[in-house]
Amino acid sequence: MPEIATPNLPSADFDRTEAFYGALGFKRSYRDKGWMILKRGALVVEFFPMDIDPKESWFSVCFRTTELDTLFAEFLSAPLSLEDRTGLRLSEIKTEPHGIRLFYMSDPDGSLIRCIDEAYQP
């Protein structure tokens, strides 16, 4: 039986969240006033409405991929608004001391997104 877990993140504004993730290649799978699901291939993120200060957010998600360099290039060149690009805080690809290769970014609500090279085997 296939199993899947999907992260749930807050969104202060579904339209803004959908536009941001849409620029990163995510497509709407479901949306009503209380829930939204966005997908990009096997990456799935679900959102719930919450008035949140991005500077105080402690939410996060990990995107695992076998094509980290490609994902980084696509996210770097995403057609984001100036406002979203300013708050993106996209890091360079780096290798952590424990050996995981990844890059970080944040969404407009301050959720931390870790993009991890799935080729790493602890």
Residue 88's pLDDT is: 66
Answer whether 81's CB lies under 8 Å from 21's CB: no
More confident call, 87 vs 94: 94
SS3 15: helix
Q: What is the pLDDT of residues 5-48, one digit of tens each?
A: 899 999 999 999 999 999 999 999 999 999 999 999 999 999 99
Answer whether 100's CB lies under 8 Å from 120's CB: yes
* Whole-number Å distance between alpha carbons of 4 and 17: 23
Q: What is the pLDDT of residues 88-98, one digit of tens each?
A: 678 899 999 98
**How many C-alpha atoms does 121 have within 13 Å on its Cβ side?**
1
Q: What angle do CA 50, 103, 71 make, to 5 degrees?
A: 90
pLDDT at position 86 over 70: no
Mean pLDDT over each residue of the chain, to the nearest integer: 90
Q: Is 42 exposed, middle or buried (0-12, 13-18, 19+ CB in 10 A)?
A: exposed
Q: Which superfamily does 8-49+58-117 belong to?
A: 2,3-Dihydroxybiphenyl 1,2-Dioxygenase, domain 1 (3.10.180.10)
